[in-house]
Every structure is written in structure tokens, then in C-alpha cells.
Amino acid sequence: MPKTGAQVIIECLEREGVEVIFGYPGGVLLPLFDELYDSKIRVILPRHEQAGAHAADGYARSTGKVGVCIATSGPGATNLVTGIATAHMDSIPMVAITGQVPTSMLGGDSFQEADIYGITIPITKYNYLVKDHADLPHVFREAFHLARTGRPGPVLIDLPKDMSTNIVNDTDFSRELDLPTYKPTVKGSLGQIKILAKAIAEASQPVIYAGGGIISSDASKELAKLAKITNIPVTTTLMGLGGFDENNDLSLGMLGMHGTRYANYAVTDCDLLIALGARFDDRVTGKLSTFAVNAKIVHVDIDPAEISKRVGVTIPIVGDLKNVLTELNKHVKPRKKDAWNKKIDAWKKEFPLSYKQTKTGKIEPGYVIEKIYEATKGEAIITTEVGQNQMWAAQFYKYKSPRTFLSSGGLGTMGYGFPAAIGAQLAHPDRIVFDIAGDGSIQMNIQELATAVQYKLPIKIAILNNTFLGMVRQWQQLFFKQRYSSVCLQSNPDFVKIAEAYGAHGIKVTKPSEVEPAIKKALQIKGPVILDFHINREANVWPMVPAGGAISEMLGEDDV
């Protein structure tokens, strides 16, 4: 039967298993939203398109499925850009659908026309401008395939209005995928894997450095098995948190600029560094000329472009981590704990992550995170904003399983955490979801309280309120002689009243003795809750590697 393009699009989405879309309507999208009205797909209305993109991202990170967001032409589409770039930097599978002016009006500076295809080329894995409604089935099939396979990433589909209204007489859903230049290597070279197994047997001070690829490839069980067989210590990146149980005695926690001292010392002293699904980000390596200089570098990644991009690699292996580690575990020999493990255990005892409880009665942010961890027994999904709140959440909550820590790592997007929590809560209605926020970043997308209230999402928002843009202030304190330029937020709103105005709950916490009861009370409330923790104003994130420094040269609170 003949169908409208909008009907074909809905069928495409249903065939891809899409259950939830985060969409904001507009004129050129009206035919599509009219069809969504009667579809089985649940449409969630954000209050800002950027938040819709972040919500789709959070849905994807917490499930492993492709997140989907929709926005209208012009400003609707451009408001998605930050969310698309966030997903691109962190390799998150997402399909962004944008409305566009009719094909006959393209290039004429029509009302709400923007070249979103051209704008997003650098921040998507691939993108499409559909000009023939007969192409709709294979465009959507290709887009979802590209988003979820190989190194995941966002794909954009720009839909001129007539692509939704035109009649499609012969819809061909049977057309085979034909992507001759897109053939991700997933198996990994057996020869290289055996060379790696031999290198592990010969190493005396090995370290595993695991990134977000462990989570996107669903390889955390294989990593745990490798660590158990070989007793090799494991450190993770910010994106890799949850990929290895931090309660495991082989865990080194996070490495890098605000990583643990023992992780950074171990990487500096190791003679074999096994990088798994990581990209040697500058926040991890610090000064490149001092990074793991005594080590053979192994790099396993599905994206060949990442191999030796920043750090020279001795043993490169291109392939999907789950497949590579499954094969590697067949070839590695058991290794007992030795002097290297004892040395690292000694570092752990000497340099634990800690904070100083002041005698002034101020709330320390690390204490808040620890109490959230205890109250949720480490089973919550944690999202974060960006800045000090992000680093404290990474340091003081112990992540036990993958897809429980959602944060903007590569782009560092303030305003990410709350809408990402919305996506995660919709995907996991029975899970506890906490957004760890700063008082600056929460105001980037605070309007999404309306979304959380409308859809009855019991998200808990812990604002670490220091009336500063905290991370920028920390840098100004340490490196700019405490000249606090444009970072003071002393005109913050009353967050409790803000919550109540939207129909949510708000709890103000000003004393350490109030922290634990407030968290327990919030968890008993069924709807969204803002916990406004008034923390020590000048609390800093420690340890810290100064920009351009070696990761072994960390500053602590006593060094300042």
C-alpha cells in the first residue's frame, strides 16, 4: 500500500527496535509527530533540544542501545549540536533526526533553514541529507548500523519536510546493507594476541589501562577474567569507570589529572602497559615525554586511527575488545601476586584518596559522595555534570559494574548530567539514578525539572553548592594568585524553591550531621528531588596534576 514518508520513517524506527525518542516538535516535523501520535514509540518532550540530545545519550550509555533524538529545522537542529558533539567525543551510539525546509527551498535562506548537514560533519560518525523519499528505508537502516557497530558514534539524518509528506508507492525494506568501505575489524590478529600473551608472561611490572571501549564492547567480564588469571593491576579512565569493579583488590581506580596517586605511580613505573579501548587522552597522559617511558605499550582498539595517534605502540591489536580478550584469556598463563603487587598495595596504604574534615562544621564534598554510595550500596546509576562535582563523583563513589557512571568525558559538557539522568531513569525505571551536580552546571539545563516532574521520574539531584564555578576557581586559586575572575555565583537562586516551583521536592543541607538523613529522606520520595548541599566553598579536588606536568608529579592539599 502507498504510504507517506512519515509512515515509512515510523516503520523504520520500529524495525530498529526504537522504544523511546526524545523529541521537540516544530513546523517541518508536524507530519512526523502526527504519525508518532499513534505509534508504539514513546515520545519524551524535553524543555530544550540540547537536553533532548543529552537524554538520548544517557539512555544509550545506560543501556548500550542506540539513543534517538529529534529536533526541528534551524535553531532546533543547532541546539542539538552540543549534545551530538558530546556523544561523538565519547563514542556513544545515537541517531539525531532533524527537520529541514522542503527540498525545493534548500539553499534559499528560507525561514528556519540551517545547513545542519554541513555543521555536523566534524562531530558525527556519518550524516545524511535525504532528498529522495525512496531512500528512507536504507538510510535509516544504515544510520542505526553505523551508530552501533565498530567504534560507536552519533549519526545525523536531516529530513526536508517533503520527505515526510510525499507518497511512497513501493517501500523496499529488503535492500541489503552495502557499505564496501565500512568493514570494522572485530576479530583481532591471533598472532598479535599471542605476542601480547608472551609479553605478559615476560613482564615484571604490568598494568592494564582500560578505557570506555571496555564498556561499549561489553567486555568487563573478560577484563575481570584476565585480571584474575594474571593478577595484573587495573586502572581505568573516567570513561572506563564501572568497567572493572573498584572493590577488587587489583583496582587502582582512575588515573590521570585527578586520578589516584597509586594509579599514576604504577603507570609511571610499569614495564608493560596494556591499553584497552582507551585513546591516551591528554588528561590521562600528562606530559607525553614522561608517560610510561620504561614500558612496552600495547594498544587494543577497534578504531585503527587511534593506534599510535598520540603514543607510540609496541604491540598494536585492532579488534573488538570482547573478542580480543576472550581469545587472549585462552593464551595467558596464570601469574601469582608478586613484589609488584606488594609495591602497589603499599602505595595504596600510603596514598589513599581522602579529604580533610574541617573543624568549622562545613560539609566536605567527598563526605557527601561517600554517604550517597553507602545509602545506595553502590548500586545506583550516577550521572554527573562537569567540573569538581564530576571528579569527586569519580573519586569517592566505588563503581562495581558497567553503565553505572555517565559523564561527559571528552567534550566536558556542563549541563549534561541532569538530562542524561532523565534518559537513564526512563531506561531503568526501577533503578536509583543520582545526578551529582555543581551549582553552576545544574543551571545549564535546570528547566528539565519540568520533564522529570511530567514523566514522574524519581531522579535525585545532589547539588554540591559552593557558590563558585568550582573547577575554574580552583585553577585561579592555584595558578592565577586567587584572582577569582567571573567565577563567583553568590546570586544563586534558592534551589529548594526552584524545585517546588516545578512541582518537585527540595531539601537544603547545611551541616554534616544533616547529610545522611537528607539522602535517606530523598530516597523515600517517589518523585524528583533536589538535595542542595552547601559545601566547603573552597574545597579542592586532590590530587591534581598541573597542566603540562608529568602524572607522577601530583599536587596534594599539603603542597599548596
What digits encode the pLDDT tens for the residues 412-449?
999 999 999 999 999 999 999 999 999 999 999 999 99
pLDDT computed for residue 171 by the predictor: 83
Residue type, 478: L
Tell me phi and psi for residue 501, to 5 degrees: -65, -30
Q: What is the pLDDT of residues 370-395, one digit of tens each?
A: 999 999 999 999 999 999 999 999 99
What would the mean pLDDT of 331-349 be, rounded to a whole number? 98
Alpha-carbon dihedral 547, 552, 558, 560, rounded to 10 degrees:
-20
Q: Give all strands (DSSP E) within 137-177, no chain letters.
A: 154-160, 167-168
Question: Considering the domain boundaries, does residue 557 fall inside one?
Answer: no
CATH number for the domain spanning 242: value is 3.40.50.1220
31's grid cell: 507530519
Q: Is the pLDDT of residue 51 over 80?
A: yes
Which of 128, 194, 520 lies closest to 328 in space, CA to CA?
Answer: 194
Query: What residue numbers bound the domain in which 10 lies?
Result: 3-168
Question: Considering the domain boundaries, does residue 546 fall inside one?
Answer: no
- Within 13 Å, how many C-alpha atoms sit on residue 108's CB side? 9
Are 325 and 472 in the same domain? no
Are 8 and 120 in the same domain? yes
pLDDT computed for residue 349 by the predictor: 97
Q: Give all strands (DSSP E) within 226-295, no chain letters.
A: 234-236, 251-254, 272-276
Q: Which DSSP letter does residue 517 get?
A: H
Q: Is the pLDDT of residue 479 over 90?
A: yes
Are 320 and 409 in the same domain? no
pLDDT computed for residue 358 by the predictor: 74
d(CA 303, CA 229): 27
Question: Considering the domain boundaries, does residue 280 fall inside one?
Answer: yes
Question: Considering the domain boundaries, does residue 358 fall inside one?
Answer: no
Check residues 360 and 211 and name the one with the higher pLDDT. Answer: 211
DSSP class per residue in 305-327: GGTTSSS--SEEEES-HHHHHHH
Are 391 and 324 in the same domain? no
Q: What is the pLDDT of residues 495-523, one digit of tens each?
A: 999 999 999 999 999 999 999 999 999 99
Tell me phi and psi for residue 316, to 5 degrees: -90, 140
Are 441 and 505 in the same domain? yes
Are 371 and 334 in the same domain? no
Grid cell 526552584 is found at 498
Are 337 and 212 in the same domain? yes
Q: How far is CA 382 from the centre of its chain?
A: 11
Q: Residue 9's pLDDT band (boundaries 50, 70, 90)? A: very high
d(CA 319, CA 288): 25
CATH number for the domain spanning 429: value is 3.40.50.970
Are 333 and 305 in the same domain? yes
Q: Where are the alpha helices (DSSP H) in 166-281?
A: 190-202, 213-216, 220-230, 261-269
Q: Please identify every residue annotated as catalytic.
A: 49, 111-112, 161, 471
pLDDT computed for residue 463 by the predictor: 98
Are 343 and 430 in the same domain? no
pLDDT computed for residue 14 by the predictor: 97
Q: Is the pLDDT of residue 359 over 80?
A: no
Are 127 and 236 in the same domain? no
Q: Which DSSP letter does residue 364 get?
A: P
pLDDT computed for residue 376 by the predictor: 98
Q: In terms of DSSP bridges, do strands 3-4 and 167-168 run parallel, antiparallel, or are they unpaired?
A: antiparallel
d(CA 218, CA 128): 29
Question: Considering the domain boundaries, does residue 291 fall inside one?
Answer: yes
Question: Considering the domain boundaries, does residue 552 fall inside one?
Answer: no
Contacts of 461 (CB under 8 A, 6+ apart): 418, 421, 434, 435, 437, 442, 528, 529, 530, 531
Q: What is the pLDDT of residues 272-328, one digit of tens each?
A: 999 999 999 999 999 999 999 999 999 999 999 999 999 999 999 999 999 999 999
Cis upstream peptide for 493 (omega within 30°): no
Neighbouring CB atoms inside 10 A of 559's CB total: 10
d(CA 51, CA 426): 14
Q: Is the pLDDT of residue 172 over 90?
A: no
Question: Considering the domain boundaries, does residue 370 fall inside one?
Answer: yes
pTM, two decimals, is 0.97
Q: What is the pLDDT of residues 440-460, one digit of tens each?
A: 999 999 999 999 999 999 999
Question: Considering the domain boundaries, does residue 124 fall inside one?
Answer: yes
pLDDT computed for residue 357 by the predictor: 80
pLDDT computed for residue 2 by the predictor: 87
d(CA 290, CA 297): 14
Q: Is the pLDDT of residue 560 over 80?
A: no
d(CA 418, CA 460): 9
Q: Which of 108, 138, 168 is the last residue of a domain?
A: 168
Are 390 and 306 in the same domain? no
Are 14 and 134 in the same domain? yes
Q: Which of 350, 374, 403 is the last residue of a domain?
A: 350
What would the mean pLDDT of 480-492 be, rounded to a whole number? 96
Grid cell 547545611 is found at 510
Check residues 175 and 380 and name the one with the higher pLDDT. Answer: 380
Domains in the chain, number: 3
Q: How far is CA 492 from the centre of its chain?
A: 27
pLDDT computed for residue 175 by the predictor: 85
361's grid cell: 562544621
Residue type, 80: L
